[in-house]
Amino acid sequence: MLESKITHLTVCDVRFPTSLEQHGSDAMHTDPDYSVAYVVLETDSDAALKGYGLTFTVGRGTEIVVCAVKALSTLVVGKTLKEIIGDFRGFYRLLSSDGQMRWVGPEKGVIQLATAAILNAVWDLWARVEGKPLWKLLVDMDPAKLISCIDFRYITDALTEQEALGEEQMLKEGYPAYTTSCAWLGYTDQQLTQLCSEALAQGWTKFKVKVGADLQDDIRRCSLIRKLIGPNNTLMIDANQRWDVNEAITWVTKLAEFHPLWIEEPTCPDDVLGHASISKALAPLGIGVATGEQCHNRVMFKQFLQASALQFVQIDSCRVGSVNENLAIILMAAKFNVPVCPHAGGVGLCELVQHLILFDYVSVSASLNNRMCEYVDHLHEHFKSPTIIRNAHYIPPKDPGYSCEMLEESVQKHQYPQGEVWRAIEMQGNA
């Protein structure tokens, strides 16, 4: 089936009206409608083999990502899977460095999100052909083959191909998770209390709270949640880029009494040296800096690591160039001895990133020290193989592929603007 040729690429604009109930709200994204650009690769295989991929976006931005996927599709259609994986690094470069398309990146923003959606579908297709879940495909892969998927351009001063090969290791199961679903910024104290109590009863021990809009609110919310979870459970805070550098230091210092493990995205995600200053100032308080959900590419991660600007690497399955680029980031994090704690949630991000974090544990870090993967309990019901969480742990997926496939009915209903969910919302608006 490796000979199968990719005959069509379709991409849909799929949106969920999550902003109606403030799910996903934070200090900068006050009305997020969780959305995906959803890619399906069709092949000429007898078995009607397809690859499914996506990238996470928020509402109106999806339209632009869909256009970018269409613009890149000519580079994919007509290729066989064998050709692609025979030189995956070359194929990655073809997409990320196309002479005309790279101008609107390069390797960042909308074009990188589109690249991620397409490559996620290719990885899904490959894993399905092998009859394995993606994480298993990765951990079983010959290290040399794995390394041949990574584009080392711009990062050889931090990690070379030779070093990467030496960092392969071994196996385990059930990956610790933390929850963000209890404390979105737009939730009331009552909601927060109820959700947090329910989560504790389900066995959750690590909780993330949105902060950054109003200091008094943050103090009240953090104090409330710390009281609910007690002194021994873990608390993280997330400001979604709200502050300037000095403001971040002052603000977080005022929240230090609640003992957060990390402050996430304290300032502009591009400001490497700013994050380094924040890291330095907060280290004596025992608070680390976490970032990555809006980090453009491996080069940015390299600089964050080189500058000791983060203490937790938050890879994202849909922001950078898919598995290929995330392999580079995971290996660099290992070299710099910084734990990877992925960003997830959104639409499908938990489904996808669980494969990468299992790979990190089995084959790279072999450690759970200060390591955990985000879990957000929204929208899993739209996936064919949703994540399985047991006692606050991700249970390794078994179905072949990259867990990207959505239910056809969900895609139909939520297509924007013609799906029935959006037509109903429009009618209510007009009434």
Ligand X SMILES: C[C@H](O)[C@@H](O)[C@@H](O)[C@H](O)C(=O)O
# chain residues binding ligand X, by CB under 6 A: 14
In the complex, minimum distance from the CB of residue 157 to ligand X, in angstroms, rounded to a whole number: 30
Q: Which does 345 bind (CB under 5 to 8 A by kind): ligand X, Mg ion, none?
A: ligand X
Taking CA atoms, 362 is separated from 135, 173, 274, 312, 356, in Å, by: 9, 8, 33, 19, 10
Residue 291 in the binding site for ligand X (CB under 6 A): no
Provide the residue type at 115 as one letter. T
Residue 293 in the binding site for ligand X (CB under 6 A): yes
Residue 380 in the binding site for ligand X (CB under 6 A): no
User: Please, which residue, 29 or 70, has the CB nearer to Mg ion?
Assistant: 29
Query: Are 128 and 66 a contacting pair, CB within 8 Å?
Result: no
What is the contact surface with Mg ion in residues (CB under 5 A)? 238, 264
Q: Tell me phi and psi for residue 39, to 5 degrees.
A: -110, 135
The question of whether 343 is a catalytic residue gets the answer: yes
Residue 238 in the binding site for ligand X (CB under 6 A): yes
Residue 269 in the binding site for ligand X (CB under 6 A): no
Q: Which residue is nearest to ligand X (CB)?
A: 24
Which one among 13, 26, 218, 271 touches ligand X, defined by CB under 6 A? Answer: 26
122: left (phi over 0), alpha (psi -120 to 50) or beta: alpha
Report the C-alpha gap between 277 and 218 in whole angstroms. 22
Residue 345 in the binding site for ligand X (CB under 6 A): yes
Which one among 24, 51, 105, 292 touches ligand X, defined by CB under 6 A? Answer: 24
Of the candidates 150, 101, 95, the one whose C-alpha atom is nearest the C-alpha of residue 121 is: 95
Which one among 1, 2, 5, 29 touches ligand X, defined by CB under 6 A? Answer: 29
Which one among 4, 62, 180, 291 touches ligand X, defined by CB under 6 A? Answer: 180
Q: Beta strand 288-291 with 312-313: parallel, antiparallel or unpaired?
A: parallel
Residue 240 in the binding site for ligand X (CB under 6 A): yes
Residue 354 in the binding site for ligand X (CB under 6 A): no
User: Please, which residue, 45 or 354, has the CB nearer to Mg ion?
Assistant: 354
| Stretch of 23-31, 60-68, 295-303, 318-326 lying at the interface with ligand X (CB under 6 A) | 23-31
| Stretch of 22-30, 62-70, 111-119, 365-373 lying at the interface with ligand X (CB under 6 A) | 22-30
User: Please, which residue, 36 or 331, has the CB nearer to ligand X?
Assistant: 36
**Catalytic residue, candidates 132, 275, 302, 343:** 343
In the complex, minimum distance from the CB of residue 141 to ligand X, in angstroms, rounded to a whole number: 29
The question of whether 210 is a catalytic residue gets the answer: yes
| Stretch of 25-33, 227-235, 384-392, 396-404 lying at the interface with ligand X (CB under 6 A) | 25-33
Q: Which residue is nearest to Mg ion (CB)?
A: 238
In the complex, minimum distance from the CB of residue 291 to ligand X, in angstroms, rounded to a whole number: 10
Q: Which does 393 bind (CB under 5 to 8 A by kind): Mg ion, ligand X, none?
A: none
In the complex, minimum distance from the CB of residue 224 to Mg ion, in angstroms, rounded to a whole number: 20
Taking CA atoms, 274 is separated from 201, 241, 265, 299, 300, in Å, by: 39, 12, 11, 17, 13
Residue 32 in the binding site for ligand X (CB under 6 A): yes
Residues forming the site for ligand X (CB under 6 A): 24, 26, 29, 32, 58, 180, 238, 240, 293, 343, 345-346, 374, 376
Catalytic residues: 210, 343
